[in-house]
Amino acid sequence: VYRPPIAPLPAQAGASLGGRSFDAIATVRREAGQDGVLFATGTENSGIAFFVKDDHLVFDYNAFDHHTIIRSDAPIPDGATTLRAQFLRGPKRTAEVTLTVDGNIVGSGEIPWMMSTISSVGMSVALDAGSPVSREYAAPFAFEGDLQTMEFQLISRQDADARKAELAAEMGRQ
């Protein structure tokens, strides 16, 4: 669990996200129009950025300048919310990303090629301290709301398989 702002955290001290499944969970309080980076790791060459833009939740996976962007279907509501990006490693170095707001699925997409190592540049929380990971914003794109905590939960392969089954069941009910 990180309490912002952190810019940048040394790569060796941050959550190791390369090549594995994880949940990124931001606890925020914001109003309409309060956008910005929740966390970013890497550089314009490769990295991950999780942010709010135009009141939508966005996840940008930058694999050597090939950007896969997943955006929420609907705007984030005002007030206290929990924003989550669940990144689940799939077969053959692919991954699935599911975005949720307060536990409700608001977007999902597939990462066609997953990197084993993200970058030697460490993670920033509540802003993007280096060259911008995403083309969607100009760094530092500091979060304008109140980012209370940014939490990372690393997921084992067995847990990832179980979560994929749960997500498939949830998507089937919607």
**pTM score over 0.75:** yes
Residue 125 lies in a domain: yes
1 in a structural domain: no
In a domain, 143, yes or no: yes
**How many domains, the chain?**
1
Q: Quick check: is 17 in a domain?
A: yes
Reported as a single tens digit per residue, the pLDDT across 71-106 is: 999 999 999 999 999 999 998 899 999 999 999 999
Q: What is the mean pLDDT of residues 19-40?
A: 97
Sign for the pseudo-dihedral over CA of 101, 104, 106, 107: positive
Whether 2 is in a domain gets the answer no
Which helix H or strand E contains 172, and what residues bound it? helix 157-173
Tokens 């914003």 identify what position?
A: 137
Would 59 be classed as within a structural domain?
A: yes
CA gap 137, 132 in Å, rounded = 7
In a domain, 4, yes or no: no
Q: pLDDT tens digits, residue range 135-153? A: 999 999 999 999 999 999 9
**CATH number of the domain encompassing residue 111:** 2.60.120.200
Question: Is there a domain that residue 161 lies in?
Answer: yes
Res 7: pLDDT: 77
CB atoms within 10 A of CB 146: 14
Picking from 48, 29, 44, 5, the residue whose alpha carbon sits closest to that of residue 142 is 5
What pLDDT score does 8 carry? 78
Give me the DSSP letters along 141-155.
Answer: -B--SEEEEEEEEEE
Question: Rounded to the nearest 5°, which phi and psi values hold at 112?
Answer: -70, -25
**Structural domain span for residue 110:** 11-173
Could you please report the per-residue DSSP string of 91-135? Answer: GGG-EEEEEEETTEEEEEEEESS--S---SS-EEESS--SS-S-T
What is the Cβ-side half-sphere exposure of residue 41, based on CA atoms within 13 angstroms? Answer: 20
